[in-house]
Structure 1
Amino acid sequence: MFSLTARQVGTHLSELGLKDGPRATDRAVDEGLAKDAKLRDGTVFYVWHTDRVAELLRGRGLEASGAGAGGGTGRARPATGAGSAAARSTAASPSPRPTDGYGKVVATDGSALGNPGPTGWAWVDQTTGETGSGGLPHGTNNIGELLALLEALRHAGPAVDLLVRADSQYVINIATKWAKGWKRRGWLKGDGKVPENLELVQAIDAELDARTGRTDFEWVRGHAGDEHNEHADALAVAAARAAAPTRAGAG
């Protein structure tokens, strides 16, 4: 959005009294700059509205410079971790590929700094150039990958024929095989243990069950030069860095 990092954008919003740590302030919500929502467990998260934030920051003399570190409008619902931040952007992705046979082709990726550590997720819609990303102060790479898929499904909607391109075989196996078996056993694995990240797995399963369009998955080798996978990775890493808790006394 601007030639700033996500953390620098956050600093400007904090100086304006619109952001308090990872949370949007009441003023930001009241002025329509951010929207708050809650998960079933009571976790609050926020979606920042890019156009309104961009207009506000331009008022501080900042110039837009293509796709960058900011957030955007739309649904983004991290399903774990208090104080989660999420965002969606409509900046064009580089050279969207043809989407033969599909209404949408979406690349997804997740990242956790230190794994576990600050976590980011992202999707890139190769059909429209839209992107979505968000972060959690603490999580794992698998959580980031699952969130990326969940938000990509929500972005695509239920009716369109969809191809999801992911570099996580863990996520693809959950979506295409494992979740079905766990569900039949009352959400237990074959050894009787509860699957990790169950809330996210159940949310993905519900989104897939609600789809009327075809849903296919393609495994993409990560860090192998696929432009959309690399784009999603860069967005996820940036979101993880932006979600990292600020150390006390840091200037």
Structure 2
Amino acid sequence: MREQNKKAALQFKNVDFHYKNTEGKIPILKNLNFSVADGEFVSIIGASGAGKSTIFRLIVGLEALTSGSICLNEKAVDNRSGKVGYMPQQDLLMPWRTVQQNAALPLELKKENHLDRKTVKNLLEAFGLKGYENKYPHELSGGMRQRVSFLRATLSGSNVLLLDEPFSALDAMTKLYMQEWLLEQWEQQQSTILFITHDISEALFLSDRIFVITETPITALKEIEVPLERPRRQQDLDKKEVTELKNNLLEQFRTRV
């Protein structure tokens, strides 16, 4: 496992959050604390509706905290909009824009257009998209669309990337390939990734640690260290200790269905 820098890239400190409806307040997070180290890959797993995506929405700034604070690189940040890279489950590429134009969108929003052509051209090649610069989203495979979406997230300029089930819509073979590709990009960029998934095998293959949501409202996250060194291969998931861990996690979720 990669040795982690002691600096925290992301921290939740005593975070409370609730929704309001006609019946009153619905608590989702209560006094939640957790930390993700700089350069770490952490996955979040939990049942549907448990609050995984709500955590992302709070980090991005799409929802407002009820109380507490969220820190980026050990500094409390009130306005986090645009300060983290976010890759949703659907790629959300704009169909009227080319691959290069879609990828460059964060630079345009930050008014850094002078970086567009050179920066994006170099990264397109690194992401295996050379020759597709002027293609439109409908001309790409699902895996290639997700590469463009990930490139767009990295061009946010943040060292913290949030990936919300980015491979769930892909076929099985493409998904395995994209998992390996993502680890290669993460190793090269030395970024910090928080990754939501319903796939326990995916979480085990990708992550340094796994946060398990076991209750709602969320008062704590159960932390699991993945017993695999890096670099990894898909075959490593067949190791006895990993298989036992996977079966234990499956059993936990089976009892909650």
Q: What TM-score results when the alignment is normalised by the length of structure 1?
A: 0.30
Structure number, greater radius of gyration: 2
Using CA pairs under 8 Å that are at least 6 residues apart, name the structure with larger relative contact order, 1 or 2.
Answer: 2
Q: What TM-score results when the alignment is normalised by the length of structure 2?
A: 0.29
